Structure formats: structure tokens, C-alpha cells
A and B are shown apart, each in its own frame.
Chain A
Amino acid sequence: MDRLLEVKNLHVGFRIFEGHLRVLNGVCLDVKDGERVGLVGETGCGKTTMVKSILRVLPTPPARVTGGEINYRGRDVLTMSRREMQALRRHELTAIFQDPLQSLNPVFTIGTQLRDIVKDSAIGRGRRLSRREIESRCIEALRETGMPDPERIMTNYPIQLSGGMRQRVCIAEALSTNANLMLADEPTTNLDVTIQDQILRKLDELVEERGASVVMITHSMGVVRDLTERVNVMYAGSIVEMGETREVLQNPMHPYTQGLMASVPKLTGEGINEGIPGRIPSYLDPPSGCRFHPRCSRQMEICSTESPPFFEIANAHQVACYLYREDR
């Protein structure tokens, strides 16, 4: 499988009143063709910043890329011209965000918005579609997401639909572009559990059919378990553990991952533990070395001086933690 997306050692910062926020701290992410990759992290870990960096929609006065590359099919996104970037966003990359009310324009009908996207995507590939073709493609896209009565939905405004339906519209929009890479940033967090289940399954189905790749960004380990083949655990601007989903969830190695897994309330009813002590660090003055070390019960001297590289545990299971250095 080809490497579709490769984020290499990305450093992104923000300039604010109090100083300079060093958010992304050498984060790395790999996505191959047709892969479903999870990015797990809590609030403030930088996952949204990373998504926006890949799409290059970060407002660059306060934000600044201070290092690293984002390679899409071998070409660095960060050095692309505006034209090239636009083409990329039109045809190759697509995104779904957490709040569909923010992604959908409230003053236009679903039909208007969807038709725009279908038309635009076709034109970009050098094809003109007739009105009837556009219409039928839109309806087909909606139907594929499991939307009941798509013809009627086309005439509705976003506010007339339920949260689940709005998100289905966003998925339909995303899939209509026939993109190769979908970045899904907490797409079902705001939805009811039964609807979330339906939508995630559908998304999974559709992505599989098209051979597209998905980066599923979420804070829910459960969602990652059901939907991804590989997972990356993110903390304070860098990846601390990555590997095959099953493997990582069953044998979490990094103390943060272990803490996370232990904090998730279990159906088995064994009580809830105290969570992970401490807070996410300030990006103004982040901890030296491993950014997790102040909260780590097993920190060693080297953890506060040098940032740990990845150590390989099993095949493809890597941890950025000195506990797993070979010579131990």
C-alpha cells in the first residue's frame, strides 16, 4: 500500500498575549491507501490543530509552522501554492467536523449545498454534469448514508433536521467529493448512542467501498476500537503510542495510554479510578523532555531532559517512552 499522508515531525505554534504557545511538538502521522487510522487524544492535545494544519486552514498570523513536513503523496502540503492547495482540498482531502450546524450553511437548503459540491467536484475533474445528473448524484449520496426520504431532505434547511441527519448530510457531502483521504474530527460525539452506532457503521461501509482512507479523530477509545485498524495516541502535541488498534488497546504500554484505558468506565462495573493526576501542560511553558513526565508515576531522570523517540515493542507497535528502551 502506498503512503497517502505522512506528517513528519510537525511543529506548530501560536503567538498570543502571554507569549508563544508551542502546541504541536514534532507530531508524526502515517496513513496508507485505504487505511482506517485512529487519532485518540483528549481536549487540548492538539488534534484539531493538526487537522487544520493538514488542511492548511489555520489562521497564520497567530499560528506558525515552525518545522516539519506534511507530505501528501510525496508532496509537501506546507509548500504548496494556494492553487495547488485548493485543488487538493477540492478533490483529495475532505473533512467532517464535530458540529454539523457549523459546517452547514443555515440559509441554504441541503439541496443547494450538496449540488454545489457535486458540481464543483465534477468540474474540477474536467466534467460538466447535466442538472439531472447532479440531482440524481445528490440523492444517491444521501441515500447511501442511510437517510430516509432523500428527496424531501434536499428541500429542507439544516435547522429542520435532527443532529444525526445533519451529520449524515455532512458525510454525504464529504463522500461526494470522491476524496482519497477523509479527516473525521469527532464526527459523532454530539450524537445519541444509537444514532452514533448507525452512522459509524455506515461510514465504515462507505469508506470500505471506495477504498478511501480515514483519519478518525476522537477521544473515545470505544469508537476507535470498533472502527480503526491502527491507532495513534496523542498527548500535548505529539504521538506517544501507535500501533494496531487491537494491540494497543489490549496492551497499552505508554503510561498515558494506560491511564486513559484505566479511566474509561467499564461495563463490568469495577468502579472508576481517579483518572490521571495533574492537568494537561501549558503550551506556553511546556515540560522539558517528555511532556507527560510531570504526571507520570514512573518518570525517570532522562524523561525530564530529553524527548523520547519511538521504541518498537512488537511489529508496528511503537511507544515514545524511555521505559521501553532496548537496554533495559
Chain B
Amino acid sequence: MDKLGRRTMLRAGAAGLASLALGPRSVMAREAMTVVPPADRKLLFVFCAHGGAAMIDGLLPVLDTEVGDSALAGTLDVFSEAQIDSVPGSAFRFVKPLEASAYSFLKPPPSMRDFVQKHGADAAVFCHDVSSVNHNVAQARSLSGAGANAGRTLMEAMAVRYGGGMLLPNCNMGTDGYIEHGVDGSLPAKARHEVITAPLLFATGTHGTRGLASAVRPDAVKRARRVRDLLDRETVFANTFRKSPLVAHYLEQRSFGANELEAADLVEKLLLLDPASAKAGLRPTAVTAELFKRFPGLAQNDVQAQTCLAFLLAYHGVATSLTFGFRSDPVITEADGVITTPIAFDYSHSSHRLAQTAMWGHLAAQLDGLIDLLKQHDYLGDPSLGKMWDRSLIYVATDFGRTKTRAAGAGSWSTGHDLNNGSLVISPLIQGNRVYGGVDPKTCLTYGFDRRTGAPDKGVVLEEAAVYGAIAHALDIPFAGRQDCPAWLKA
């Protein structure tokens, strides 16, 4: 039988079985999202350190004197004593910014000192390798644990665990691999992330009328929507294509938008509008006004705007998973010029130390500001629910590490990608002020630890699934095969 003939026949047979065919996986047996009372909710903030934040250039620097061989030290990414700093009682050393003149086209970055001093007690460095040095793949795996949880990202798992009843439980402002959905077809549609690219005005998309230059009264719009819904029952188009998953999904979203999203009246709550320039009858809340004080450049600084929107989405109970961070394009403002490097941490290809110190400084400053806010504010503004920070975990997701070597004695050099690295996690839910694992000064390679006891172990190599499992463990997200990390849980 010729190939086409056989296929045609096969297809005819398939048609006979069509009545038994199940739909696509997307409509099959989706897991339900659990509704958790506010008191028991947790918050996950994922900061995307795009391009490879090398832990040995952030909170795990190696001193040249620790190498034990000055010639070898001259070929490794190590530091003189004058180049690093620390605060009393901290488990972390951190790298100081370079001389201002070394930043050439950049505004010199802030120091990491404030971050370490104020929040180091809740910070942990988790030493591990990754399984890819391709940006997109590595970014996606940093969030999916390389398939640790049936392809579900941490943010998706979080949304399923805590996001039931939330309006947009999983909001993502990342790019490239950080904005890829997981691949678990059984994930509830609402646990998939909402993409946000314009954080300042995102709020306007949560309402059909607020802030619009239209004289139409809101209740008249409601009537029009009801008529529209009836029209969408009447038209031949809508009836003919009623089985379309695309159309059915849109109708669900439209019902959700009109009945739930709008009712929450989020425009003023989420609008990042400078209180000094209130427009269209919209008045930012007092909380938003505080954001402008804490991050005065946020109207032009996209990373600050993302951070603030993440905070507001969490504060108002809209979301439980917030993803945000650096993009490929640098932050440039009228007041300060170029603030971050092009291609973020990946500018290390051109100038490793410039890129790493600049980007770590900005990363720390963002986190410092965010944690300050989380420590100051009660969840949902309700004192009975306690401070937001008490239920928060910040995961600094990065692609991979950077190569550990340099030309002998070089003061400026470029680096490539390296599987070996570590991740920064900050949360009161874990035992902070601690490095889990360690770094071998002779290679600058990190090594793992015993997940049960926390004891460093040079023979242990942990990968993405272990990071994923440890964070899920801390956030009480259960799943089969989770790589628990009892060592870092608070008793």
C-alpha cells in the first residue's frame, strides 16, 4: 500500500474513533488551585539576574591570599583584601564597587553594604551547578528546576499552592527564558503567568473604564457588556466557533475581567503614577506615594518600576508569584544616564569585573529597597496579618556562573559562561546568614552540601532540581520527588 493511501485509511479509522477521543492535554484533568486564607499565604519574588550573576563576584568572593599560591591566584577571579568588605557578624563578604572612573560609561553602582547589613541575617547562598550554559535554556531551568516538578515553574507551582482566589496569581515581567511558561499541561490556566512589560501603566489594563477620556457612565457600560454578551450568543460566528479553545478561553477571561478584576478596582492601587502629577481623576494611594520616596527614579528606571509593581501586586493580594528583574537593554535615565550595563551580567563578556560589580550593586540596591518595603508593610494592609516579609521568599534566579580564570595578573578581563555557580535566596523562612556549600579557593568553583545537615561537602554537586526542591520545601509546596532541604528550614 502506498504511504498516502495507508495514511488516508488510517485517518479514516481514526475518525471512527473520534467519538472516544479525549481533548488536548490542556483541557484534561487539570489540577485545582487551592484557596488559602490570607493568614496562611506566602509570597515568592523571583528577581531575574539576567546574564549570569557570578556568586564569587557577589557574596562569595575569594581572597587572593586564600589561594595559597600567588601565581595561581593571579590567574583566578579572586580579590585583594582592599577590594572586599564585610559587616560584623555576617557570614558574607561582598565585593566593593570599583573606583568610579573604572565604570567609564556607567554611573558608579551602589555598594552592597546596606543590603548585607540590613538583610544578611535572612540571606543564604546555595552553592550549586547548572546543566546548561545557553542563556535561554539556563534561565528557564533556573525556574523549572530542569524539570524537577513535571515541567512546572516555581512560580506556577506557587500559584497553584497559594493562588486560588487571587486575581492574577502569577505575574511575570521577565524576558527570554525567564518568561517561558512551564510545560506541565495539567497546570490550571490561571496559574500561568500574566506577562507585564509596561509596569508603570499596567494597572490601566485591569479595568475597562477607569481613567479613560470617555463620558460614558460605568453602569451604562455594564449594560452594554450585557448586550454584547447576548450578541455573542446570537451571532453565527460566535456559535459556529464556540468549540474553539481560543474563543472559550477568551470568554472565561472576559467574564473574569468584568466580574472579578474590575470589582477589585486595582487601577489606583497598582498605578505607578507620581503623586505630584495625578491625571485623569486617578489618585495614587499612600502606599504608592511611599514607593516614589523609596525609589525616586522609578518613573524612568524600568527595574525600579518592576520592583514596585511586584510589591504592589503582592501587597494588594493580587498575586503570589512575582517575577521581575534586569533586561538585556540597560537602564538609562535623564538624571543619571546609563545605570546598568547592556545585556546585564552578560556584559562580563566584555568586562567581567565592571559588569559584575555594577550589576551586583544594583541588584542589592533593588532587593534592599524591596525588603525594606516588605518589612514595613502589613500584608493586605491588615496588621492582624503581620508584615509581608514574614511570608516572603526572594529567589535571585540567574542563568549560570562565569568562567573563573583570567590572564595572569589581568586587572580587566572578559569571561564566558560556566556551569558552576550558586544562588542567592533571602527569606525569614530559611536559616539565613549562611553559605550552604562553599567555594574552593584553588579553583574558585563552588561545591555542595548535605541537604539534611547543611554540612559543606566538596564531593557533592547539586543542580537546579535541588534549588527548586529547597525553595519549594521552604514555601511548603509539595510534589512527588521533591529534593527537600531540611538543613535550611527554620525550626
A, B from the same assembly? no
Residues of B within 8 A of A (CB): none
Query: B-contacting residues of A (Cβ < 8 Å)?
Result: none
